[in-house]
């Protein structure tokens, strides 16, 4: 009896241990609260926000594309003048690390994961590709030759720089392919898409609008390639403000607009409107000045650019810009219509009637700011009317585009370089005797990637503010 009882107990013990497989024991060590598999959507969403932050944010030092809000003389610093006077402290790390690398990871995960919906995955990869093109294009437009073919390999600390023109043409080809494979009958990233909330039709229009912009960017240097890109893009571009490619911030910090996070939240008194910009708004009696700026004793007053002065004597940013959820614009209807006006003037893409597109562009800008009821009176002024405004079409379009691109500093600076208007001068105390025509290469490249840096600097004509990039034909 005693032996039977012992055997029974042993059998029960062996049964318990035999049911505990190695997988069961291993599962006890699994952290069920932290993900071990990355989600492509997370990388994509993060990259979108990082792109918006970097392109539109403004700090007091010249560290990224946002500093061009000062370079194009929409605003000026009144205390810390590093950015306004072109002190060189540039970094492209956020665009490579936070935007391009995260987009790369998102694409890699999608490509390695088997799903039952190939068309949805194709859409996701095309959306990623459009944002990659947007980001690389900005890097070329800012610096010239950049790391491209060897970029995004973090095991390679010394990537070679590729020729800017070759890169740009390749980007247009990549963009063309991405647009062509978008399937409007299928889904994409859905709610993880913080620009269009998964609307594929709008991604097609975004891609084509970007292609239109890139085609005109190179039109003077490479007329055949530029005209081809424009002609292919024109039929399906952004046509309403509801289709604008914008990043919508939230009202809760830290997911707020970087301008609000830096200035308003910390109650800093750094930036005011320039006399260059505000005097032009005053000359045109432009009602957008009440959106852009706050009056001082009933008047809109601009400060001299790049000079230490009293913050309270000049018009600071308006309440529109002081909203935590202020959207960052990647490309909008006003931009597109100005581009179409230019295409009409150049006689390319089958576009006609530059005056009509010019007027629609200005109307789109007024509509975006909620003051469309004042646009007819504005357009009727001889100084604004396309048929009577002074100067060649480059000046007519260039001046009005400069105004409409307020708070889109990088694009305003790039179009200033390309069109030559408005005519801006560097402050006397600046590090350059002209408004910069490009960014200087980051210090890190000069020290850690010296051989490739030296080769790139020589190839573009010198790592200087005065070096014209391949598309910037004087």
Q: What is the DSSP string of 250-318?
A: -SSTTSS-HHIIIIITTT---EEEBHHHHHHHHHTT-TTHHHHB--BTTB--PBPTT----GGGS--B-
With beta carbons less than 8 A apart as the criterion, state whether 110 and 40 touch. Answer: yes
- Return the percent helix, strand and coil in the chain, to nearest 5: 55, 5, 40
Residue 14: predicted pLDDT: 37
- Residue 434 CA to residue 430 CA, distance in Å, equals 9
Q: What is the mean pLDDT of residues 77-103?
A: 93
Q: What is the mean pLDDT of residues 30-49?
A: 80
Does the pLDDT value for residue 327 go beyond 70? yes
Structural domains of the chain sorted by starting position, each given as residue range(s) with its CATH number in brackets: 40-254+325-424 (1.25.40.390)
Does the pLDDT value for residue 212 go beyond 80? yes
**62: phi then psi, degrees, rounded to nearest 5:** -80, 80
With beta carbons less than 8 A apart as the criterion, state whether 435 and 424 touch. Answer: yes
**110: phi then psi, degrees, rounded to nearest 5:** -60, -45
- Residue 398 CA to residue 342 CA, distance in Å, equals 10
Instruction: Enter the tokens of residue 44.
Output: 């994509």
Q: 371 to each of 330, 366, 377, how far by Cα in Å? A: 21, 5, 12
With beta carbons less than 8 A apart as the criterion, state whether 230 and 349 touch. Answer: yes
Residue 11: predicted pLDDT: 34
Residue 116: predicted pLDDT: 67
Q: How many CB atoms lie within 10 A of CB 225?
A: 18
- Name the region of 363 (left: φ>0; alpha: ψ -120 to 50; beta: rest): alpha
- Residue 214 CA to residue 340 CA, distance in Å, equals 13
Q: What is the mean pLDDT of residues 243-268?
A: 94
- Residue 335 CA to residue 91 CA, distance in Å, equals 27
Q: How many CB atoms lie within 10 A of CB 187?
A: 15
Alpha helices for 182-299 (secondary structure H): 200-217, 223-233, 258-259, 275-283, 289-292
Q: Which residues contact 376 (CB under 8 A, 6 or more apart)?
A: none
- Residue 73 CA to residue 231 CA, distance in Å, equals 33
Residue 10: predicted pLDDT: 36
Residue 15: predicted pLDDT: 42
- Residue 273 CA to residue 237 CA, distance in Å, equals 32
Does the pLDDT value for residue 74 go beyond 90? yes
- Residue 101 CA to residue 418 CA, distance in Å, equals 29
Residue 161: enclosing H or E segment and its boundaries? strand 161-162
Does the pLDDT value for residue 444 go beyond 50? yes
Burial class (CB in 10 A: 0-12, 13-18, 19+), 27: exposed
Q: What is the average pLDDT value for the chain, to the nearest integer?
A: 92
- Residue 45 CA to residue 300 CA, distance in Å, equals 39
Q: Which residues contact 125 (CB under 8 A, 6 or more apart)?
A: 107, 110, 111, 181
Q: What is the mean pLDDT of residues 145-161?
A: 96
Q: Which residue has the higher pLDDT, 62 or 234?
A: 234
Q: 370 to each of 33, 149, 320, how far by Cα in Å? A: 46, 44, 11
Q: What is the mean pLDDT of residues 168-172?
A: 98
Does the pLDDT value for residue 373 go beyond 50? yes
Given pLDDT bands bounded at 50, 70 and 90, which one contains residue 209? very high
Residue 117: predicted pLDDT: 78
Q: Which residue has the higher pLDDT, 64 or 375?
A: 375
Give the end-to-end CA distance of the chain in Å, rounded to a whole number.
106
Q: Highest mean pLDDT: which of 9-18, 21-30, 307-316?
A: 307-316
How many percent of the chain have pLDDT more than 90? 86
Given pLDDT bands bounded at 50, 70 and 90, which one contains residue 474? confident
Taking only the tens place, the pLDDT of each residue in 278-309 is 999 999 999 999 999 999 999 999 999 999 99
In the DSSP assignment, the letter for residue 273 is E
Given pLDDT bands bounded at 50, 70 and 90, which one contains residue 89? confident
Give the alpha-carbon dihedral of 429, 430, 433, 436, to 10 degrees.
-160
Q: What is the mean pLDDT of residues 371-385?
A: 98
Which segment of 47-61, 220-234, 401-415, 437-451 scores lowest on mean pLDDT?
Answer: 47-61
Q: What's this model's pTM, rounded to 2 decimal places?
A: 0.92
Residue 33: predicted pLDDT: 52
CA max distance for the chain: 116
Q: 28 to each of 21, 70, 255, how far by Cα in Å? A: 12, 57, 36
- Residue 346 CA to residue 138 CA, distance in Å, equals 24
Residue 60: predicted pLDDT: 67
Residue 113: predicted pLDDT: 87
Q: Which residue has the higher pLDDT, 114 or 202?
A: 202
Which segment of 63-72, 267-276, 370-379 scores lowest on mean pLDDT?
Answer: 63-72
Which segment of 10-24, 331-345, 381-395 scores lowest on mean pLDDT?
Answer: 10-24
Q: How many CB atoms lie within 10 A of CB 64?
A: 25
């Amino acid at each position: 009896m005693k032996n039977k009882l012992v055997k029974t107990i042993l059998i029960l013990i062996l049964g318990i241990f035999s049911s505990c497989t190695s997988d069961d024991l291993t599962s006890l060590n699994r952290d069920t609260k932290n993900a071990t598999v990355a989600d492509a959507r997370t990388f994509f969403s993060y990259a979108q926000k990082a792109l918006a932050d970097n392109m539109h944010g403004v700090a007091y030092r010249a560290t990224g594309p946002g500093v061009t809000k000062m370079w194009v003389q929409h605003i000026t610093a009144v205390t810390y003048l590093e950015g306004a006077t072109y002190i060189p402290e540039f970094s492209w790390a956020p665009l490579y690390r936070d935007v391009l690398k995260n987009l790369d990871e998102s694409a890699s995960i999608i490509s390695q994961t088997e799903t039952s919906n190939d068309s949805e995955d194709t859409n996701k990869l095309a959306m990623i590709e459009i944002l990659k093109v947007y980001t690389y294009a900005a890097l070329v437009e800012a610096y010239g030759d950049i790391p491209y073919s060897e970029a995004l390999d973090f095991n390679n600390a010394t990537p070679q720089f590729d020729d800017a023109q070759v890169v740009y043409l390749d980007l247009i080809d990549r963009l063309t392919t991405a647009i062509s494979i978008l399937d409007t009958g299928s889904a994409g990233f859905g709610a993880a898409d913080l620009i269009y909330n998964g609307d594929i039709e709008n991604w097609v229009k975004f891609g084509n609008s970007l292609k239109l912009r890139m085609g005109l960017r190179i039109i003077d240097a490479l007329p055949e390639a530029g005209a081809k890109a424009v002609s292919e893009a024109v039929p399906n571009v952004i046509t309403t403000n509801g289709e604008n490619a914008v990043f919508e911030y939230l009202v809760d910090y830290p997911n707020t607009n970087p301008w609000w996070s830096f200035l308003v939240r910390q109650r800093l008194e750094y930036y005011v409107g320039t006399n260059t910009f505000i005097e032009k708004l005053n000359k045109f009696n432009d009602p957008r000045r009440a959106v852009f700026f706050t009056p001082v004793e009933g008047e809109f007053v601009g400060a001299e650019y790049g000079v230490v002065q009293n913050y309270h004597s000049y018009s600071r940013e308006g309440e529109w810009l002081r909203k935590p959820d202020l959207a960052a614009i990647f490309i909008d209807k006003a931009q597109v219509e100005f581009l179409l006006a230019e295409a009409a003037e150049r006689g390319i893409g089958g576009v006609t009637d530059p005056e009509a597109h010019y007027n629609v562009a200005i109307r789109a800008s007024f509509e975006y700011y909620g003051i469309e009821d004042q646009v007819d009176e504005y357009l009727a002024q001889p100084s604004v009317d396309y048929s009577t405004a002074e100067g060649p079409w480059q000046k007519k379009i260039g001046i009005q585009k400069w105004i409409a691109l307020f708070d889109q500093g990088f694009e305003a600076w790039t179009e200033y370089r390309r069109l030559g208007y408005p005519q801006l001068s560097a402050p006397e105390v600046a590090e350059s005797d002209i408004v910069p025509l490009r960014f200087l290469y980051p210090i890190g490249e000069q020290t850690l990637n010296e051989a490739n840096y030296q080769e790139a600097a020589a190839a573009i004509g010198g790592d200087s503010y005065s070096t014209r990039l391949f598309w910037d034909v004087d």
